[in-house]
Amino acid sequence: MAKIPTDLSGREVRAALERAGFVFRRQTGSHMILRRDEPYARAVIPDHKQVRTGTLRRIIADAGLSVEQFMHLLGR
């Protein structure tokens, strides 16, 4: 199992999910909402300098990805 990174910003997470087919829909306060139509998934990402590990794990699960798939999208 790949280790979850601890040094990612919300913008880096957003860029990785956009590579997986997600589209930025809107931002409310510090939360960016991304959506993918096929298969349907929605992810809410905090626009912070550093996303906490548990939050990142939840974002990856909401996106329907494995940690390994997410790491590949990051290019790591």
pLDDT digit string (tens) for 33-42?
A: 999 999 999 9
pTM, entire model: 0.91
Which neighbouring-strand residues pair with 23?
Answer: 35
Residue 2 has pLDDT above 80, yes or no: no
Q: What is the pLDDT of residue 76?
A: 79
Mean pLDDT, all residues of the chain: 94
Token pair recorded at residue 70: 């997410």
Cα–Cα nearest to 41, from 28, 60, 26, 55: 60
What domains does the chain contain, in order, with CATH numbers? 10-74 (3.30.920.30)
